[in-house]
């Protein structure tokens, strides 16, 4: 049996945080820390559309194609890895 880290995460897993429509919340299920940006967007879109992220109202039109991923390893202050999906901000 795999060792469970704090907050129910196994080694290599992370908590996925999503900002959408002026709201912010964590996906209830853990994700792989090294999941691709495309995978993370897909899981997040599905969750937003289904209304399964606490703190984020269901939105069937959710489109995260212009969102990017920031990855944060565990720290002494926050003892679990986090993956955050947020709007991109470059200008050309």
Partner 1 sequence: MMEAAVVVAADGSVLHWHRPAGRSHTSLPDSRDLWEVIWEHRELIAGIAHTHPGAGWPRPSWEDVTTFSACEDGLGRRLSWWIATSDRLRHYRWSGPRKHDYAGWFPVGPTPWLGHLRVISGFNEPIWSAP
Site of interaction with partner 1 (CB under 8 A): 19-23, 63-64, 66-68, 70, 86-92
Cβ proximity of 88 and 66 under 8 Å? yes
Give, in order, the Cα–Cα distances in Å from 42 to each of 7, 15, 38, 46. Answer: 23, 15, 6, 6
Cβ proximity of 68 and 86 under 8 Å? yes
Helix, strand or coil, per DSSP, at residue 22: coil
């Amino acid at each position: 049996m795999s060792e469970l880290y704090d907050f129910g995460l196994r080694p290599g897993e992370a908590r996925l945080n999503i900002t959408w429509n002026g709201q912010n919340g964590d996906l209830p299920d853990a994700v792989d820390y090294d999941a691709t940006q495309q995978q993370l967007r897909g899981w997040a879109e599905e969750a937003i559309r289904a209304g399964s992220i606490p703190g984020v109202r269901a939105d069937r039109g959710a489109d995260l194609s212009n969102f990017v991923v920031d990855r944060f390893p565990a720290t002494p202050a926050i003892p679990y890895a986090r993956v955050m999906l947020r709007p991109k901000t470059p200008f050309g």
